[in-house]
Amino acid sequence: MKIAFIGEGAMSPDIMAAQAKCIGNFEHTEILLPYSIEELASVEKVGVDAMPIPDAFHDLQDVDIAVCHFSAFGHKVFDLMPNLKILATLRAGTENIDDTAATQRGIACVHCPGRNAQAVSDQAVSLLLSEVYNVARGHADMIRGIWNNVYPTSSYTPILSGKTAGIFGFGNIGRLTAQKLRGLGMNIIVYDPYLSDADAGEQNVKKVNKETLFRESDFVMVHARLDDSTHHCIGASEFAMMKPHAWFVNNARAGLVDTDALIDVLKNHLIAGAGLDVFDIEPLPKDSPLLTLDNVTLTPHNGGGSSEEIRVYAAKMAAQGILSILDNAPNFQVMNPQVIQSDEFQQWIERANRELGR
């Protein structure tokens, strides 16, 4: 049984290999991709088929299981790995995996939904607090020797307790952000077209329509996923509904928001301020108008965190997803559990468990 661990700057393959030891005894190969995170993340815009194929992939003909992070997998890569049966990505999003192609080829796919949800929700709350309390502006001034405690938004710094936070997208991250903001004493309202009444009741949140969310929130927290249906789903008309002293936080994806419309309301102080971790072009170009505004807190797409603890957690989660397949009990991480039902896959599971010593 051979496993390939494919990492890059944001996730080293040795962490993946160390956490996969619970799978059993296997031969393995570690590949460190020669691309930057920005290059790899472009898969979200250009799709898997446009991504370059690393030379090292030509040596993976006998690999049974591949574990990756950002690496792109589509038909061309699958052609190079005819024995592949399980492909696991340590990401929650699956833009780097063509799961339709994988399913056609009988490859089971594993992902790690929620793997960095704690970190991203913590960061969303930190963006909110930093912007409201001028943390970044105060720090920048102090290191320039300036003692300033009056900023453009200071006159309407809110008491957070009792205010309303509107969660736009109530998935893994949105739910955690809601819990954390509730801990600060806020009322939570949620817009998510796929949230059932029963689920909203269980989570103790008020489900509202999109318009109500933008009109009633003192803080709009964006936590939806970007796809064709959500591209620019927040624009001039949504910003026009916001209260003049409401705040906007987006650490989900820039493409959800019409950035020109956001810049316009910020520049004209039609909303209080914004905290942003994600941008249409990353790294953010030096001439971006966002850099000229006095009511934004910007962070360089670091919502997911990059600590050892977060990486180990993700690698452990991927191993659990793989184990669930080997145990013939695919868990919530398995994207195409139907693949596992075939006779061929069942025979492979038997052989894999034998070879792994399970």
Ligand X SMILES: NC(=O)c1ccc[n+]([C@@H]2O[C@H](COP(=O)([O-])OP(=O)(O)OC[C@H]3O[C@@H](n4cnc5c(N)ncnc54)[C@H](O)[C@@H]3O)[C@@H](O)[C@H]2O)c1
Q: Taking the complex as a whole, how short is the minimal distance between the CB of residue 302 and ligand X, in angstroms?
A: 6
| Closer Cβ to ligand X, 115 or 316, answer by number | 115
Catalytic annotation present for 355: no
* Position 278 contacts ligand X (CB under 6 A): yes
Q: How far apart are CA 136 and CA 296, in angstroms?
A: 9
Task: Check 282, 309, 311, 355 and give the catalytic one.
Answer: 282
Is position 168 an interface residue for ligand X (rule: CB under 6 A)?
yes
Tokens 């619970």 -> residue: 22
Encoded tokens for 127: 């963006």
Q: Which of 173, 189, 205, 221 binds ligand X (CB under 6 A)?
A: 173
Residues 146, 245: Cα–Cα separation, whole Å: 27
Tell me which of 27, 301, 351, 354 is the catalytic residue. Answer: 301
Among 233, 241, 261, 270, which residue sits at the site for ligand X (rule: CB under 6 A)?
233
Which of these ranges, 78-86, 251-259, 279-287, 330-338, lies near ligand X under the rule CB under 6 A?
251-259
Active site residue 223: no
Residue of 5, 35, 70, 170 interacting with ligand X (CB under 6 A): 170
* Residue 253 designated active-site: yes
- Burial class, 184, CB count within 10 angstroms (exposed 0-12 / middle 13-18 / buried 19+): middle
Q: Which residues contact 258 (CB under 8 A, 6 or more apart)?
A: 232, 234, 235, 236
Q: What is residue 10's DSSP assignment?
A: T
Quote the CA–CA distance of 235 and 168 in Å, as a whole number: 13
Told to check if 303 binds ligand X by CB under 6 A, we report yes
Cα separation, 160 vs 148, whole angstroms = 22
> Whole-angstrom Cα distance, residue 266 to residue 272?
7
Interface segment toward ligand X; rule CB under 6 A; list 74-82, 163-171, 279-287, 315-323: 163-171
Structure tokens at 248: 């906007």
Residue 189 or 278 having the CB closest to ligand X: 278
Can you give the binding site for ligand X, defined by CB under 6 A? 92-93, 113, 116-117, 120, 168-174, 191-194, 223-226, 230, 233, 251-253, 277-278, 301, 303-304
| Active-site residue set | 253, 282, 301
